[in-house]
Structure 1
């Protein structure tokens, strides 16, 4: 199972989200083709109600501790309540990698 699929499966089971996207953004970084090291996670869950952003991120970092210890280098987290999501329904694009992305061959 791919790391992306593992993340999706864990997030679905733990948060029962209204909306979830796990996007592999590794291609935007200086890694080998096919790498699974950089992800953007957009997660909309009622479990975030009343929680500050830092607490929301800690919840995900704790859930994905194994992935973070086994090769996932970066998670761009967008954690929203259903009402926050309804007000925007989009998240910002990730900025380009400062390392110019991609690996030269």
Structure 2
């Protein structure tokens, strides 16, 4: 599964999600991905809940097509502070 397909799955499973998929530094394995996900659906959720929402959007692909996924999640306001 390529990065664009992973991004599409997350975006379709989360409200107004803005998703960027990359390969983590030092990783040359196509199955190791990093996801930066910004969505208003994360507002008021714990970090564990946010990550669970991303994994739920990916469904069975996490066990069949994606070997490892590094996840960073932010609500829009949190991301603005992070970027600032």
Which band: TM-score by shorter chain?
0.7 to 0.9
Rg larger for = 1
1:36-93 deviations in Å (ceiling 9; x for gaps): 2111100110000010000011111122132211131211111000110000128xxx
Find the residue that maps to 2:65 and give its secondary structure: coil
Flag the structure with higher helix content. 2
Which sections of structure 2, spanning at least 5 residues, go unmatched?
none
Q: Which runs of 4+ in 1 moved over 4 A?
A: none
Normalization by structure 1: what TM-score? 0.68
When the two chains are superposed, the root-mean-square deviation of aligned CA atoms in Å is 2.0
Aligned length: 83
Structure 1 unaligned runs (5+)? 91-105
* Aligned counterpart in structure 2 of residue 56 of structure 1, from 50, 54, 59: 50
- Structure 2 counterpart of 1:28, from 12, 19, 26: 26
Instruction: Tell me the SS of whatever aligns to 1:72.
Output: coil
Looking at structure 2, the residues matched to 20 and 64 of structure 1 have their Cα atoms a distance apart, in angstroms, of: 13
What TM-score does the superposition give when structure 2 sets the normalisation length? 0.82
Is 1:84 aligned to residue 54 of structure 2? no
What secondary structure, in the 3-state scheme, does the structure 2 residue paired with 1:11 have? helix
Distance in 2 (CA, whole Å) between partners of 1:3 and 1:38 is 10
